[in-house]
C-alpha cells in the first residue's frame, strides 16, 4: 500500500483533528450536564441527612455541621457514623464513586475513540490517495494516446463517479481519435484520387499543346481537333473542381439547406430539361408517372442538383434508344421517387461502393467524374431523405429515394 504524501497527510490529520475536537466539545458538554445531575443527587442526599441530624439533635448548629461535613470526605464519614448514619455513608460513597468512575471511563473512551477514528480516517485517506494516484496514472496514459484503459468502477463514492466519467471521456476520446485517423486516411485517399483524376487530362492537354507549338505548319483540321479535345478536357476539369468545391462545403458544414415546398412534377421536368442534350445524343426517352399535386419540403436548388446527377448516371448506363422510368409515390409518411433504367446494370461487388467518391466501375462512362452519386447522396440525406440502389446485370438499375415528411 502506498504511503500518503506529506501534504495529503497534513490535510487528512487536520480534518480529522477538527472533527474529533468538535466531538470532544460535545462530549464534555454532555459529561458536564451529567455531573451536575450527579452533584444535585449527591447534595440532595447530604441535605436530607443534615436535616435529619438537626431534627434528632437540635443542640447542633446547622452551620457548624455543614462546615464539618464539607471539609473532607473522611471527616464527613466520621460525623455521619457519630450520629448513627452508617448506611447513608455507603449511599453517599456510591454516588461519589460513580462520579469518579464516569470521569475515568470518559477519558478512556475519548482516548480509544481518538485513536480509532484517526486510524480509520488515515486508512481511508491512504486508500483514496491510492485511487487518486491510479486515476492520475490513467490520465497520463490518456495524454500519451493510450485509450485502451478500462477504469470502470461499480462503487458509489465520489472517486468512483469520477472514474466512470473518465471512462466515458476515454471512450469519447478513443472514438474521436479513430474518427480523426479515418478522416486523415480519407483526406489522403481523396488527395490521391484528385491527383489521379487530374493527371490524365492535364497530361493529355500538355501533349496536345506541345504538338501545336512544335508544329506551326500543322493541318487546320488536326489543330481544330486538338483544340476541341483541349476544350473538352478543360470542361471536365472545371466540372471536377466545381463538384469538389460542393463536396468540401458539405464536409465543412457550411451549406445551409432552405426549407421550401417543392412541386415534384416541376422538379423532375427541370431535371429532364437540364439533361436534354445528353438524352438526345443517346436517344433516351424519359417516361414519368407523377401526381401533379405531389410536394415535399426541401431545398429546391440542391435537390435539383442531386436528381440531375442520378438521372445523368442512369442515362450514361442506358443503352442507345432506350427508356428511363421515373415514378413518384406520395403518402402521409414519405414521398418516394424511383428512377429506373433498362441499361447494362451494375455488378453486385460494385453496388456497395457506388456512392463512394471517385469510385468507378469497369463500365463507367469515360467522362464520368466519379463524384456525382456521392454528392447526390449527401444532398438527399441533408434534406431528411435517404437513397438506395438495386441493380441486375443486363436488366438495369433502380435508384429509390425517400423523403420523410
What is the per-residue pLDDT across 352-386, written as a single tens digit (0 to 9) for each?
Answer: 888 887 776 655 555 555 688 988 999 999 888 99
245: which 3 cell numbers?
Answer: 468545391
361: which 3 cell numbers?
Answer: 466501375
- Residue 178 pLDDT greater than 80, yes or no: no
322: which 3 cell numbers?
Answer: 432506350
- For residue 87, the model assigns a pLDDT of 47
- Computed over every residue of the chain, the mean pLDDT equals 77
Share of the chain above pLDDT 70, in %: 68
pLDDT band at 112 (very low <50, low <70, confident <90, very high): confident
User: How far separated are the first and last CA of the chain, in Å rounded?
Assistant: 63
- Residue 4 pLDDT greater than 50, yes or no: no
Angle between helices 62-71 and 6-56 (to 10 degrees): 140
Region 388-392 average pLDDT: 92
Q: Of 319, 236, 305, 240, give the one whose Cα is nearest residue 275.
A: 305
- For residue 89, the model assigns a pLDDT of 46
Task: Give start-end residues of each CATH 1.10.287.130 domain in the chain.
Answer: 159-252
- For residue 275, the model assigns a pLDDT of 92
Q: Which of 67-81, 109-123, 128-142, 208-222 has the highest mean pLDDT?
A: 208-222
In a 10 Å sphere around its CB, with 0-12 CB exposed, 13-18 middle and 19+ buried, how is residue 341 labelled?
Answer: buried
- Regarding pTM above 0.85, the answer is no
In a 10 Å sphere around its CB, with 0-12 CB exposed, 13-18 middle and 19+ buried, how is residue 356 labelled?
Answer: middle
The single residue listed with the C-alpha cell 438495386 is 390
What whole-number distance in Å separates Cα of residue 258 and Cα of residue 100?
90
CATH class of 260-404: alpha beta
Region 137-153 average pLDDT: 64
CB-based contact 333:404 (threshold 8 Å): yes
Among the ranges given (22-31, 92-101, 127-136, 371-380), the one the predictor scored with the smallest mean pLDDT: 92-101
Region 184-212 average pLDDT: 78
CB-based contact 226:208 (threshold 8 Å): yes
* Cα angle 340-288-282, degrees, rounded to a multiple of 5: 60
Task: Give start-end residues of each CATH 3.30.565.10 domain in the chain.
Answer: 260-404
The residue ranking higher by pLDDT, 174 or 326, is 326
For the four alpha carbons of 158, 160, 163 and 167, in that order, the dihedral sign comes to negative
- For residue 63, the model assigns a pLDDT of 66
Buried b (16+ CB within 10 A) or exposed e, 315-327: bbbbeeebebbbe
Region 85-94 average pLDDT: 51
The residue ranking higher by pLDDT, 368 or 321, is 321
- Residue 2 pLDDT greater than 70, yes or no: no
Q: What is the CA radius of gyration of the chain?
A: 49
- Residue 147 pLDDT greater than 60, yes or no: no
**Residue 339 backbone dihedrals phi, psi, to 5 degrees:** -115, 115
Among the ranges given (5-9, 306-310, 359-363), the one the predictor scored with the smallest mean pLDDT: 5-9
pLDDT band at 125 (very low <50, low <70, confident <90, very high): confident
pLDDT band at 387 (very low <50, low <70, confident <90, very high): very high
Region 109-134 average pLDDT: 77
The dihedral over CA atoms of 360, 362, 363, 368, expressed in degrees to the nearest 10, equals 30
What whole-number distance in Å separates Cα of residue 379 and Cα of residue 306?
6
- For residue 338, the model assigns a pLDDT of 95
CB-based contact 57:83 (threshold 8 Å): yes
- Residue 146 pLDDT greater than 80, yes or no: no
- For residue 186, the model assigns a pLDDT of 65
Region 201-214 average pLDDT: 88
CATH number of 159-252: 1.10.287.130
Taking only the tens place, the pLDDT of each residue in 225-274 is 889 888 888 887 887 788 778 877 887 777 888 889 999 999 999 999 98
- Residue 3 pLDDT greater than 50, yes or no: no
Among the ranges given (74-78, 112-116, 120-124), the one the predictor scored with the smallest mean pLDDT: 74-78
pLDDT band at 76 (very low <50, low <70, confident <90, very high): low
- Region of 384 (left: φ > 0; alpha: ψ -120 to 50; beta: rest) is left
- Residue 50 pLDDT greater than 60, yes or no: yes
Amino acid at each position: 500500500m502506498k504511503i500518503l504524501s506529506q501534504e495529503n497527510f497534513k490535510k487528512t490529520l487536520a480534518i480529522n483533528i477538527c472533527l474529533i475536537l468538535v466531538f470532544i466539545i460535545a462530549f464534555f458538554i454532555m459529561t458536564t450536564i451529567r455531573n451536575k445531575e450527579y452533584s444535585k443527587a449527591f447534595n440532595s442526599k447530604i441535605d436530607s441527612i443534615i436535616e435529619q441530624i438537626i431534627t434528632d439533635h437540635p443542640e447542633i448548629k446547622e452551620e457548624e455541621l455543614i462546615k464539618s461535613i464539607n471539609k473532607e470526605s473522611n471527616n464527613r464519614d466520621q460525623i455521619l457514623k457519630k450520629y448513627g448514619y452508617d448506611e447513608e455513608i455507603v449511599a453517599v460513597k456510591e454516588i461519589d464513586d460513580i462520579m469518579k468512575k464516569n470521569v475515568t471511563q470518559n477519558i478512556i473512551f475519548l482516548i480509544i475513540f481518538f485513536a480509532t477514528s484517526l486510524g480509520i480516517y488515515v486508512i481511508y485517506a491512504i486508500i483514496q490517495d491510492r485511487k487518486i494516484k491510479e486515476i492520475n496514472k490513467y490520465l497520463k496514459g490518456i495524454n500519451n494516446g493510450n485509450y485502451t484503459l478500462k477504469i470502470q468502477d461499480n462503487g458509489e463514492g465520489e472517486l468512483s463517479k469520477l472514474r466512470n466519467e473518465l471512462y466515458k471521456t476515454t471512450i469519447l476520446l478513443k472514438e474521436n481519435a479513430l474518427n480523426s485517423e479515418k478522416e486523415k486516411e480519407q483526406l489522403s485517399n481523396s488527395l490521391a484520387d484528385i491527383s489521379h483524376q487530374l493527371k490524365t487530362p492535364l497530361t493529355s492537354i500538355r501533349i496536345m499543346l506541345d504538338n501545336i507549338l512544335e508544329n506551326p505548319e500543322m493541318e487546320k483540321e488536326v489543330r481544330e481537333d486538338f483544340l476541341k479535345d483541349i476544350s473538352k478536357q478543360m470542361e471536365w476539369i472545371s466540372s471536377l473542381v466545381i463538384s469538389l468545391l460542393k463536396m468540401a462545403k458539405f464536409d465543412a458544414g457550411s451549406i445551409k439547406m432552405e426549407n421550401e415546398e417543392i412541386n415534384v412534377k416541376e422538379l423532375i421536368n427541370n431535371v429532364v430539361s437540364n439533361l436534354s442534350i445528353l438524352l438526345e445524343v443517346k436517344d433516351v426517352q424519359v417516361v414519368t408517372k407523377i401526381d401533379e399535386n405531389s410536394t415535399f419540403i426541401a431545398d429546391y436548388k440542391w435537390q435539383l442538383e442531386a436528381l440531375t446527377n442520378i438521372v445523368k448516371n442512369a442515362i450514361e448506363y442506358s443503352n442507345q434508344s432506350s427508356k428511363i422510368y421515373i415514378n413518384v409515390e406520395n403518402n402521409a409518411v414519405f414521398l418516394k421517387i424511383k428512377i429506373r433504367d433498362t441499361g447494362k446494370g451494375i455488378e453486385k461487388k460494385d453496388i456497395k461502393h457506388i456512392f463512394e467518391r471517385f469510385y468507378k466501375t469497369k463500365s463507367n462512362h469515360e467522362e464520368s467524374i466519379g463524384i456525382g452519386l456521392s454528392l447526390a447522396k449527401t444532398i438527399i440525406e441533408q434534406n431528411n431523405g435517404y437513397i438506395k440502389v438495386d441493380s441486375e446485370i443486363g436488366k438495369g438499375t433502380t435508384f429509390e429515394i425517400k423523403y420523410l415528411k
